Amino acid sequence: MNYMRRLYGWFLVISTLLKACIRNLYIWMVTVDMLYGESKMKLSEIINQLDQFSCDDTIYAKQPWTFDSEAIVATEPDNGGIPNEATQIDAAYFLEIFLAKEFMGGWLSNLDSSPSSKEKCLRLIKYIENDA
C-alpha cells in the first residue's frame, strides 16, 4: 500500500506496510521515504541530519551561507546546473551529501567533545569557503 501524508511541511510516502508477529503480539510497521525538495529547511538542520540523506544528493542553500540559511537537499540534474527546487528558492550549490558526510566524519573524529549544531554548521561553511 502506498499513502501520502503531509506532516510538518514534509511530504511522507509510506512505502511499505509490514506486519510482524512477536510472541503473538502483532506490530504494524511502516517505512517512510522523504521526498527531498518538497520542504525547505535551515542549513543547520540538514547538516545535523546528514545520515538521513542519500549520498547521491546535493545540498543547495541561499547565500550568504549562515547557520540559518534556507536550504534544500535535491538530486543534481543529469546535465549539471541547479535543480528547479533550488532555483525556486534562489539557492546556490553548497556541497554534495557524500562530501559533507566525509568531512564531518573526519572533523568529528579529531575532537574530544561533541560540537553544537551551530558549530558543526559553521565549521562546514568555513571548510567550503576556504578549502573545498
Give residue-wise pLDDT tens across range 11-52: 444 444 444 444 554 444 444 444 444 467 899 999 999 999
User: What's the pLDDT score for residue 132?
Assistant: 66
Give the alpha-carbon dihedral of 78, 44, 61, 36, to 10 degrees. Answer: 40
Distance, CA of 57 to CA of 53 (rounded, Å): 7
Distance, CA of 25 to CA of 39 (rounded, Å): 36
Distance, CA of 108 to CA of 14 (rounded, Å): 33
> In this structure, what C-alpha cell is assigned to residue 112?
574530544
Q: Where are the domains of the chain?
A: 1-35, 40-130
Q: Note the pTM of the prediction, 2 decimals.
A: 0.69
